[in-house]
Chains A and B, each alone.
Chain A
Amino acid sequence: MAHGASPTQQKVYYVEGIGQPTYPYVSGLGYPSPWGLYLALAYKTYQLLPISSYFYYFLIKLLPIAGDLIATYIIYRLALEYTKNLKKAQTLSLVFFLCPFVIFISSVWGMFDSIPILFTLISILLLLYEKPYWSALSLGLGILFKIIPIIYLPVQLLFLRKKRGVRDAVLYLLIAMIVPFILALTPIIVYGWEISEATVTVFSQTQRRGGSLTYWNIAALLKNLFPNLFSVEILNSLFSFPPIRYLWILGLIAAYLLYEERHTKIHSDARVDNLRVLLEGFSFATIGFLLTRPFVPEQFVLYLLPFLIILPASKSLKKYYRLTWGFALVFALVNFYPFAFAYLIDIEFWNIFNYLIDTSPFSTIRNVIQFAVVIVFDWFLVKLLFKMRKKA
């Protein structure tokens, strides 16, 4: 991209001294362009100051870490609104910032989900402060970085319709959709990227084969145990079956209905009540999404954590916060092995990683542990949902 290529081109070639030399190329980015543009900026900066390849990796991780830091401050502001207790708000925000899973995703892996999460949290804060259009802009920026925050849009719309009427809800919808659309389109036009190629890459996220932090990763286990019975073709056929591919839409519909059912019962204008209603809605939507999407990368769990930190007033719900990030971290460590990222120090680590994920019995043991962790993780999510529904 730093040399003008599209972020979604099929093959991004290996640059000498940076990245994984085991692959001649990697696939394009499945996100709208801002993250790719930031990577290009990081590379340009590295070219100006080619101190060490670690400087480039540092620049990549700088934005997600900054995202964590600012998100921590927004969590502090939200927690202060919710608890009215300075000390508690400080503790809760630090609980997020120092969470090992949060550190793993941003500082170790370098995933940038903290940015869309940050914009989502800002949009909640602005909505609380009666600034709906700025809130819509913020949510739109979150959607621009990664499409995921779009699942929160109906929650905000239902809330606004109830509080300020249909007109404001429609305006909110327009701003939250048009802003990312225009900002995503602009670099495509400016740099002359192929629009169909860019869109296919983003849309392709809707048809990923089942895997990672979801019960659907039983497919990987079955394929490993019975390769002749569960071929790639059979699994592709299963995951392209419409009700499985789009099961997450049903999960979200159920979450919004649950939220709407709750929302009609609250008739208070107090900020703390509004915040509770919103946080519940956001939690329902995230849990519904995590429980039904056929492909759930570990970093998606981050979206749930801020809501689980601020919302629980009781100790029993706090337990679920720890369990959620704990199981997600265990899964991530089994998925990547703790030393997978050490290829930056020595490429042999990457070769060992590849050997372990491809060779029996290590691959089978890995798949069995992954599936067991996922079943427990999803079980806790279901329990959390029922508990929240009861408490709510």
Chain B
Amino acid sequence: MKRLVSILKDRRTQYCIIFWILLLKAIDVVARLLSEVASLQFFAILGFESLSVGSRLVWDGLLIFAVFWLGYRVWNDVFGFG
């Protein structure tokens, strides 16, 4: 447990997780855009359109949290505040 906490405290791990969450959102956006084209509708399967209401809420919350988390990290690491 201690090891896990120390891994999560690591700056690089945090950037990794933030990048991953934003990448998932990017996959969703690209899949949705491509699926708008009639012959490329199959790309929708990669996106998250079929999420239930509860899952959608948690996912959107996580996404917003990741954006704020990124802001906090950049604020700390680039500007040296915090």
Contact = CB atoms under 8 A, between A and B. Distances in A.
A and B: real partners?
A: yes
Interface of A: 195-197, 199-200, 203-204, 206-207, 237, 240-243, 246, 249-250, 253-254, 257
B6 interface: no
Nearest to B13: A254
Contacts of A257: 12, 16
A246 B45 CA distance: 13
B5 interface: no
B27 A237 contact: no
B16 A200 contact: no
B51 A240 contact: yes
A241 B59 contact: yes
Nearest to A207: B45
A197 B21 CA distance: 29
Contacts of A240: 48, 50-51, 55
Contacts of B43: 203
A195 B45 CA distance: 14
A124 to B, nearest CB: 26
B59 to A, nearest CB: 6
Contact of A242 (B12, B24, B39): B24
Interface string B39-51: 1111101101011
Contact of A237 (B12, B24, B40, B52): B52
Interface in B1-52: 12-13, 16-17, 19-21, 23-24, 27-28, 39-43, 45-46, 48, 50-52
Contact of B23 (A203, A207, A249): A249
A241 B58 contact: yes
A253 B42 contact: no
A324 B22 CA distance: 34
Given A207-B45, A246-B20, A257-B12, 20 more contacts: A196-B39, A196-B41, A199-B42, A200-B42, A200-B45, A203-B42, A203-B43, A203-B45, A237-B55, A240-B48, A241-B51, A241-B55, A243-B21, A243-B24, A246-B24, A246-B27, A249-B20, A249-B24, A250-B17, A253-B16
A110 B46 CA distance: 29
Contacts of A241: 51, 55, 58-59
B59 A242 contact: yes
Nearest to B31: A203
B82 interface: no
A330 B53 CA distance: 40
B68 to A, nearest CB: 17
Nearest to A251: B20
Contacts of A200: 42, 45
Contacts of A246: 20, 24, 27
A254 B51 CA distance: 27
A270 to B, nearest CB: 29
A243 B62 contact: yes
- Give 7 closest A-B pairs by Cβ, nearest first: A196-B42, A250-B20, A200-B42, A203-B45, A199-B42, A242-B24, A237-B52
12 contacts: A203-B45, A203-B46, A206-B45, A206-B46, A207-B45, A237-B55, A240-B50, A241-B51, A241-B55, A249-B20, A249-B23, A253-B20
A246 B17 CA distance: 12
B45 to A, nearest CB: 5
B50 to A, nearest CB: 6
B54 interface: yes
Contacts of A195: 39
Contact of B19 (A207, A242, A253): A253
B21 to A, nearest CB: 7
Contacts of A197: 42
B69 to A, nearest CB: 14
Contacts of B62: 243
B49 to A, nearest CB: 10
A218 B54 CA distance: 22
Contacts of B59: 241-243
A332 B27 CA distance: 33
A257 B50 CA distance: 32
A127 B15 CA distance: 31
Nearest to A198: B42
Nearest to A246: B24
Nearest to A199: B42
B2 to A, nearest CB: 14
